[in-house]
Amino acid sequence: MLNRVLIYFNNEENVNYLLDYGKLLEEKYGVEIVGLYVKDIRKYEVAPVSLEGMMVDSSSAYLIEEWEKIESEKVLKIEEQFNSKFNKSEFKVMEGIGPDIVLDKLRGFDLLLLGKNKKIDQDLKSLLKSHLKPMILISAESKMELKNVLFANDLEMEANKSFFDFIDRFKKVENYKILSLNIDEEDEELKKYLIKTDIKYDLVKKTGNEIEEIKEEVKDQDLLIMGNIKHFFMFEKLRGKLGIKILEEIKIPIYIA
């Protein structure tokens, strides 16, 4: 089931794409959309403070004051855009450490939408290491459709979990492409399961450079399902940081359970 979706506005550049994708989910699946902006308290770390909590450096105090003014204007603009797209939805503005606030709020949601840039920043890494709910990563090049989905099946349990989680939540997806790269073994159990469903799918087996092959296969797809990549952060030297490269180089939305 898919009932509540949280949109985390972590980057001003991705606001429009996050709003459009949230609208797609609202219209197609009837979900409740809630927006979240976090005023991150880590910005205060640039200003030294006295034991009484007063800022010592007046220039630092001025810097913080100007930053807060700019941020308030930015938040107001994002909130106005959100309300124009979702006039009956809630937009939350909270203060704290971004990833910590998001993980706490996610307890009441089925799915997280957030933006990604060309390079994975530390906040996104923190969420990828710690999240317990599915997320969809949106970039500026994301497609605003959800009909054709590519599943990168590496036969690992993390990928299998993501796939089953996705098909349970997104029952209106029309076609799946299941891609196996550089794997000789057949996923017989998955094939047995799919035969019992109404899911339309194509099985594709390829060999070659994993990143380049996935980039080629996603060209006609609306979304990529990949496994939870927590273990990639633990063993980054293995497999050439493949999970991180996929996140950075694939332009369509990426679903991670």
**pLDDT values of the chain reduced to their tens digit, one per residue, 257 residues:** 899 999 999 878 889 999 999 999 999 999 999 999 999 887 666 555 544 555 545 566 777 788 788 889 999 999 999 999 998 899 999 999 999 999 999 999 999 999 988 887 888 888 888 878 999 999 888 889 999 999 988 888 888 899 999 999 999 998 999 999 888 888 899 999 999 998 999 999 999 988 899 999 999 999 999 876 554 443 343 344 667 788 888 999 999 98
Please tell me the total number of residues recorded for the chain in this structure: 257
Q: Which residues lie below 8 Å from residue 22, measured CB to CB, with a gap of 6+?
A: 5, 7, 33, 85, 86, 113
CA distance 214 to 151: 10
pTM (whole model) above 0.75 = yes
List of domains in the chain = 4-137 (3.40.50.620), 144-256 (3.40.50.620)
- Quote the tokens at residue 232: 């990639």
